[in-house]
């Protein structure tokens, strides 16, 4: 039989594939880093939150459910978290180190049912109070997650208050929005409440805005959480050197090379090649062109977030994106075979953020 000689192209970011036993391979650790040192939830608890929100329940109930789901999905971040309301202004948790159960208790303490009349919405003036009492004393970066139905009917306009805070703190602060604004009336495209939230969200490009009704969908919420709360990076750790084995040379046999390249991973819901993999793919293209009698199998994969048919198409686009890059680097198109497996072949744990990140990948083999 032909003896297979396996050559691995080592790359920053990836585990090696196809279950080929080997020792001394570099290991990849995904590091989760908070996007801010302080996260402040600023939640509308005024009378308007006692009204119905679409067919999901009272706005106050929907806000609570969304915040609890976000808290449950958050990784254990080394950052401070606080919970405050406006209309009326109240501190339910001071800005201190993250503790999942403490956050859940604070969110559950916010009233859901109250007298609607006379309970006005002073978003701007209560934000000034939050700034004076809390934000002005925080160190490093601050992310304020505003839960609003798009109303503010007493006190200064929150646009001016937020703009003053941007002017004061610069890029140390960013406001994000969870919107419970009502849908527009028939014959219009944007309601007054939606326009109000869009106006505040447009003050700074750092802002992330999501509608509460969309955040009930797991993959939308996962995307919102990663955009607002944390980023990831991959760290390669080299293993300790292995002792040299004593090898008795076998009788010479014909040798066929099978080269297995390292994975290329992708951002959530993206088929765009990340810049850090371009040099790796160029090196792969050089190896492929040095072996003109071989073909390349390019296989795309996804994590398990989202519908299966959508992920199937996404995996095919990822595989084609890598094939197009190799072709631009000089690899002949007729040597490239692409296939997408969708979410059917995970190699890592889809129950963790890190595992899902590594499953959003393309595998290549030269045969």
Collapsing DSSP to helix, strand or coil, 363 comes out as: strand
**Is 24 exposed, middle or buried, given 0-12, 13-18 or 19+ CB atoms closer than 10 A?**
exposed
Q: Please write the tens of the pLDDT for every residue from 176-186.
A: 999 999 877 66
**Residues 82 and 193 both lie in one domain:** yes
Give the pLDDT confidence score for residue 190 in this predicted structure: 57
Q: How far apart are CA 94 and CA 97, in angstroms?
A: 9
Identify whether residues 220 and 72 lie together within a single domain. yes
Q: Is residue 323 part of a domain?
A: yes
Q: Looking at the structure, do residues 192 and 259 belong to the same domain, yes or no? A: no
In a domain, 111, yes or no: yes
Residue 106 lies in a domain: yes
352: pLDDT strictly greater than 50:
yes
Mean pLDDT confidence for 135-140: 95
Interval 28-85: pLDDT, tens: 788 889 999 999 999 999 999 999 998 899 999 999 999 999 999 999 999 999 999 9
Please list, in sequence order, all residues whose beta carbon lies within 8 angstroms of the beta carbon of residue 14, skipping any fewer than 6 positions away: 28, 262, 263, 264, 265, 361
Q: Are strands 38-44 and 142-148 parallel, antiparallel or unpaired?
A: parallel
* Within a domain: 239: no
Pairing of strands 296-300, 80-86: unpaired
What CATH number corresponds to the domain at position 76? Answer: 3.40.50.410
| 189 & 258 share domain | no
| Residues 253, 358 within the same domain | yes
Q: Which helix (H) or strand (E) holds 168?
A: helix 158-169
CA 229, 313, 321: angle at the middle one, nearest 5?
Answer: 80
171 DSSP assignment: G
How high is the pLDDT of residue 355?
Answer: 85
- DSSP string computed for 262-313: PPEE--TT--PPPGGGHHHHHHHHHHHHT-TT--EEEEE---SSS-HHHHHH
Residue 354: what are its φ and ψ, rounded to 5°? -65, -40
Considering the entire predicted model, what is its pTM? 0.60
Range of the domain at 268: 3-26+248-366
What phi and psi values does residue 213 have, to the nearest 5 degrees?
-65, -25
Is 243 within a domain?
no
Residue 241 lies in a domain: no
d(CA 225, CA 211): 13
Window from 6-15, 131-140, 247-256, 299-308 with minimum mean pLDDT: 6-15
More confident residue, 178 or 9: 178
Average pLDDT (90-115) is 95
Mean pLDDT of 121-150: 96
Q: Are 29 and 14 in contact (CB under 8 A)?
A: no
Tell me the C-alpha distance between 183 and 190, whole Å: 7
Q: What is the mean pLDDT of residues 313-330?
A: 92
What confidence score (pLDDT) does residue 251 get?
67
Same domain (yes/no): 12, 64: no
Q: Indicate if 85 and 155 belong to the same structural domain.
A: yes
pLDDT at 15 over 60: no
Distance, in Å, from the CA atom of 70 to the CA atom of 221, rounded to the nearest integer, reads 7
What pLDDT is recorded for position 4?
32
- pLDDT tens-place string over residues 232-262: 888 877 776 767 777 777 765 544 454 556 6
Express as a percent the part of the chain with pLDDT over 90: 56
Question: How far is residue 62's CA from residue 357's CA, in Å, rounded to a whole number?
Answer: 29
216 and 183 share a domain? yes
Q: Are 277 and 261 in contact (CB under 8 A)?
A: no
When pLDDT is cut at 50, 70 and 90, the band that residue 6 belongs to is very low
Domains identified in the chain, total number: 2
Residue pLDDT, tens place only, 284-309: 888 888 888 888 899 999 998 888 89
pLDDT value, residue 269: 87
């Amino acid at each position: 039989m032909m003896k297979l000689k396996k050559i691995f192209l080592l790359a920053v970011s990836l585990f090696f594939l196809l279950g080929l036993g080997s020792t001394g391979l570099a290991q990849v650790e995904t590091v989760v880093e908070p996007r801010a040192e302080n996260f402040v939830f600023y939640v509308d608890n005024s009378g308007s939150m006692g009204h119905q929100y679409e067919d999901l329940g009272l706005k106050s109930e929907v806000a609570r459910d969304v915040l609890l789901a976000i808290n449950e999905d958050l990784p254990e971040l080394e950052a401070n978290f606080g919970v405050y309301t406006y209309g009326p202004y109240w501190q339910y948790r001071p800005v201190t180190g993250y503790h999942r159960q403490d956050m859940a208790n604070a969110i559950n303490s916010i009233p859901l049912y109250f007298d609607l009349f006379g309970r006005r919405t002073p978003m701007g003036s209560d934000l000034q109070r939050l700034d004076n009492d809390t934000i002005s004393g925080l160190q490093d970066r601050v992310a304020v997650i505003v839960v609003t139905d798009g109303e503010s009917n007493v006190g200064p306009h929150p646009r001016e208050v937020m703009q003053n805070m941007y002017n004061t703190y610069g890029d140390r602060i960013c406001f994000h929005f969870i919107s419970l604004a009502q849908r527009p009336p028939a014959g219009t495209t944007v309601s007054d409440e939606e326009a109000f939230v869009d106006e505040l969200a447009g003050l700074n490009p750092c802002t992330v805005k999501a509608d509460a009704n969309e955040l009930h969908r797991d993959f939308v919420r996962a995307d919102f959480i990663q955009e607002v709360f944390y980023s990831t990076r991959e760290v390669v750790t080299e293993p300790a050197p292995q002792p040299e084995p004593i090898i008795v040379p076998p009788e010479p046999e014909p040798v066929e090379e099978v080269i297995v390249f390292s994975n290329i991973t992708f951002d959530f819901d993206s088929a765009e090649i990340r810049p850090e993999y371009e040099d790796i793919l160029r090196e792969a293209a050089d190896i492929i062109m040095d072996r003109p009698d071989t073909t390349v199998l390019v296989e795309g994969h996804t994590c398990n977030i989202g519908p299966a048919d959508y992920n199937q198409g996404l995996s095919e686009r990822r595989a084609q994106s890598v094939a197009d890059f190799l072709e631009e680097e000089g690899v002949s198109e007729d040597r490239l075979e692409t296939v997408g497996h969708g979410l059917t072949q995970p190699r890592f744990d889809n129950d963790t953020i890190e595992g899902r990140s590594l499953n959003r990948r393309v595998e290549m083999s030269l045969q």
